[in-house]
Amino acid sequence: MEQEKYEAVIESILFTMGDSVELSKIARALELPEEETRRIIENMMERYQWPGHGIQILELDGSYQMCSKAEMYEYLIKIAKQPKKHVLTDVILETLSIIAYKQPVTKLEIEKIRGVSCGHAVNKLLEYQLVAEVGRLDVPGRPILLGTTEEFLRCFGVQSVDELPVLNPEKIEEFKQEAQEEIQLKLDV
């Protein structure tokens, strides 16, 4: 194996492992003596110090670790501070659409429509600030009423829920028919 190949393997090992890796393990992976492996890594360490590289290899008590250079931290912090993009699974989207079209709505009403528990989906939507408590129903137990938020409107690019798409009445009837047939099949089994 030539020098460039050894360096590529070392780089791959250190990048993938993330934590420090002992020299002996790297040498075994390369099937080289430890001293030769150390020399290759030291050459790489020197080259990473040149301008134009944002990473470096550190030696930590006989082990090596690839990490960002200290002068890159301010840029990494900018990325880390950016809000995470929320993942809306089919279950969460279905729950959100029920809330958007039926609001204000209780969790029990959502569960009746979906036919399954929706606690996790509602909690995620509250966490993502797409829905919020908009009041309480004036019945025993005073269940929470849920509705969409301004964040929901921003995310979906509408000024109000009135701008949400309206289902074609024929499609609604088709969905109702399919649901009835599905219920009948379950009853027959």
Could you state, in order of their start, the residue ranges of all structural domains in the chain? Answer: 3-78, 90-188
Largest CA distance in the chain: 78
* Each residue's pLDDT tens digit, 134-148: 999 888 989 999 999
Predicted confidence at residue 86, as pLDDT, reads 74
The residue with greater pLDDT, 56 or 182, is 56
pTM here is 0.50
Is the domain spanning 90-188 CATH 1.10.10.10? The answer is: yes
At 161, the pLDDT band (50, 70, 90 cuts) reads confident
Question: Tell me, what DSSP letter sits at residue 128?
Answer: T
Percent of the chain with pLDDT over 70: 96
At 14, the pLDDT band (50, 70, 90 cuts) reads very high
| Res. 189: pLDDT tops 70 | no
Those residues whose C-beta lies under 8 Å from the C-beta of residue 20, and which sit 6 or more positions away, are: 58, 60, 63, 64, 65
The percent helix, strand, coil of the chain (3-state, each to 5) is 60, 15, 30
Is it true that 3-78 and 90-188 share their CATH fold? yes
Rg (CA), the chain: 29
Contact (Cβ atoms closer than 8 angstroms) between residue 96 and residue 139 = no
Question: What is the CATH code for 3-78?
Answer: 1.10.10.10
**Quick check: bond before 33 cis, omega within 30?**
no
| Res. 115: pLDDT tops 70 | yes
What average pLDDT does the segment 126-130 reach?
Answer: 92
**How does strand 131-136 pair with strand 144-148?**
antiparallel
Tokens of 48: 């990473």
What average pLDDT does the segment 98-108 reach?
Answer: 92
* Each residue's pLDDT tens digit, 34-72: 999 999 999 999 999 998 899 999 988 889 999 999 889
